[in-house]
Amino acid sequence: MIDLLRRRTLLWLVAMSLLAVACSGPAVAPTLDGRVFLSTSVTQDGADRPLVPGTRIRLGFGDGGLTASAGCNTMGGTVRLDGGVLVLDGGAMTEMGCDEPRHAQDSWLFEILAGRPTVRLAGNELEIQSGGTVIRLLDREIAEPDLEPTGTLWTVDSIIAGDAVSSVPAGVTATIRLLPGGDLALDTGCNTGSGRFAIDGATIRFTDIGLTKRACDGPAGAMEGAVLAVVGADAVTWSIDAHNLTLGAGPAGLILRGG
C-alpha cells in the first residue's frame, strides 16, 4: 500500500511538471532587434587580434537594419538572420577621413559583416565568426551602463546644428554639471555661472541662469553661443546612451561626454 501510494505521488508530480512546461508555452529565442553590442575580444585563428588603441567595435540592430563602427566610419544596411548566418544587404559605409590604421580596421570589419558570418547569441553575449576570426561582444547596457544625468560632469564633445554635427572648437572646453537638488553649474567655454534645472520625462528645463560678463570672441565665443542656444531654450530634450548625453533644442543641440 505504501509503495502504491509513493508511485501515485511520483506520477502526480511528473504530471504537474509536464503541465507546467506545457502552460509556459514554447521557449522564445533571444532577439537582436533593438540591442547594441560592444566588443570584448577579437581573435584570429585562436590568437588575440588587437584593435587600434582607443577603438571598439559597436554593432546596433533595429528595424531590420544593422549599424556598425570600428573607430571612425559608420557602416550598415538591412540585415536578416538565415539559419544562424548574418546576411547584410545594401551595405554601405561613410567616407570620413581616418588615419590609415582606423581606415584599415573599418574596411576589415565591413568585409566580415558583408561576408555572411555566423552569429551566436547567448543571453547578453554575441559572437560573430568569419573563417578563423571570432568577434565576441557584450550587450551595451551591461558593458557600458547609462550614466546618471545628475552628479556627472558633462563635457561638450560635439555641436549639433540642423543635420550637421561638428567637433568643438580647438582648445575650448565647456561643461555642464547637474547637481542633486536641481542646481546647475555651467562653463560655456568662456564664462562660468550657475542656475537651476528640472527634469520632466524626456524634457529638461534650465532656468535662472547667471554668468560672468567676460567678452567672448573667436572659438570661445562660438562655443558659448552653441551652449547658450541650448540651455537658453524654453525646453530641451535629453537622452543618455552609455557615457553620452544629448541635449536638443530644435535645430540646435549638444553631445556631451560624462566622466
Instruction: Report if residue 4 sits inside a domain.
Output: no
The confidence band for 93, taking pLDDT boundaries of 50, 70 and 90, is: confident
Residue 27 lies inside a defined structural domain of this protein? no
CATH number at residue 168: 2.40.128.270
- Residue 49 C-alpha cell reads as 587580434
Q: Per the domain annotation, does 79 fall within a domain?
A: yes
Could you tell me if residue 83 is inside a domain?
yes
Residue 70 predicted with pLDDT over 50? yes
Verify that 205 and 171 share a domain, yes or no: yes
Provide the number of structural domains found in the chain: 2
**Whether residues 138 and 178 fall in one domain:** no
* Residues comprising the chain, all counted: 259
Tell me whether strands 153-161 and 192-200 are parallel, antiparallel or unpaired: unpaired
Residues 111-133 have a mean pLDDT of 96
Which residues are bridge partners to 88 per DSSP?
79
> What digits encode the pLDDT tens for the residues 224-255?
999 999 999 998 999 998 899 999 999 999 99
pTM of the predicted model, to two decimals? Answer: 0.64
Phi, psi (deg, nearest 5) at residue 100: -60, -45
Contact of 176 with 185, CB cutoff 8 Å: yes
Which residue range forms the structural domain that includes residue 72? 36-143
Q: Is the separation of the CB atoms in 58 and 37 below 8 Å? A: yes
Say whether both 100 and 181 belong to one domain: no
For 153-192, the pLDDT digits (tens) are 999 999 999 988 888 988 999 999 999 999 999 999 999 9
Residue 159 shares a structural domain with residue 115: no
Phi, psi of 13 (to 5 degrees): -65, -40
* Cα→Cα distances 142→38, 96, 152, 242, 255, Å: 9, 29, 19, 10, 22
